Amino acid sequence: MASTSIAGVDDKELTIHIPDLVKVFKDGSIERLQNSPLVPPSTLGSVSSKDVVISNNPSIFARLYLPTKFIHHHDAHKVPILVYFHGGGFFFESAFNERHHNYFNLFLSKAEADILVVSVEYRLAPEIPLPAAYHDCWQALKWVASNDSDPWILNHGDFQRVFLGGDSAGANLVHNVALRAGAEALPNAVKVLGAFLSQPYFLSTKPIGSEAVEGHEESPPYLVWGLVYPNAPGGVDNPLINPLAPEAPSLATLGCSKIIVCVAEKDSIRDRGVWYYQAVKNSGWHGHVELYEAEHEDHAFNIHTPESENALKLMKRLAHFILH
């Protein structure tokens, strides 16, 4: 699979094509090939959601999810806060799309998870190239920890139990935000308790595990990084995408107490998740890290088929990780 550069005068000619993912045209327009439709927040059965503004400059938003039973009760019962970063290669998907909206309604209801979810809408590449998304997600976490966030968070959130979570590129964001939380103080001395990284998107110039040596530079993960961060210092050995790069911060500085790395057996980037898990385990980090593998599943199966047996099993495992 390779990017395609086509010289010509027609503004609708392709300049970048990553099959099944994205087309970028000479006039600057972009066709994202896997987006699901945007949907409004809702109250569906036991789960309510609403949209909030985190920042107008830059534009950062979020969709909050909370079990409906808490909406009108301002009692002392507080629930863990999950700050979630969606996947989509840094260039597609949304906190407001049907896929993620359905996922969190199912997650809170099917896993019986009394959790407040803050699903972050960060700015997407290539219109706003990386590293913007990393800064947006850090700002979102700071907003959650501040006294200026939403009443749902202030009234119902347990600031002793703040978690980060994400899938694919979102899991990459989790790693980098957790590193920053280990180096910089959050408002009100809030700490991140734990983090889950589901099928994380990492990369390096050197193939690992089952990754093909020949054609590595033409693989979709490699091409995507070139699209979303074309001027990345070090390319795919930039510490943002390669957590074991020579200039990367020590994994021992991750700013949380427990981590679960989730991989899928048939995922082409499965070995990167195992690689990351082993690196954290051997880093001298003082937290607890574990690996969870879903058998017979492919990349982002839990988001694409959230009602499948393995997706529900993973939801329950993540809920247990957050609640216990």
Q: What is the pLDDT of residues 240-278, one digit of tens each?
A: 999 999 999 999 999 999 999 999 999 999 999 999 999
Name the pTM for this structure: 0.94
pLDDT at 66: 97
Q: Which of 168, 198, 204, 237 is catalytic?
A: 168
pLDDT at 73: 76
pLDDT at 45: 86
pLDDT beneath 50, residues of the chain: 1-10
Cβ proximity of 265 and 296 under 8 Å? yes
**Secondary structure in 3-state letters for 15-31:** EEEECCCEEEECCCCEE
Cβ proximity of 33 and 45 under 8 Å? no
Domain covering 14-323 assigned CATH 3.30.420.40 in the classification? no
Q: Find residue 258's DSSP bridge partners.
A: 194, 288
pLDDT digits (tens, 9 = 90+) for 31-53: 888 888 999 999 978 999 999 99
Range list of β-strands (E), the chain: 14-18, 22-25, 30-32, 43-44, 47-55, 60-67, 79-85, 116-121, 157-167, 192-198, 258-264, 288-294
Integer Cα distance of 127 and 202 in angstroms: 22
pLDDT at 1: 34
pLDDT at 323: 97
Is-cis flag, bond preceding 246, omega within 30? no
pLDDT at 7: 38
Active site residue 167: no
Active site residue 75: no
Q: What residues does each domain of the chain span? A: 14-323
Q: Which of 150, 167, 237, 267 is catalytic?
A: 267
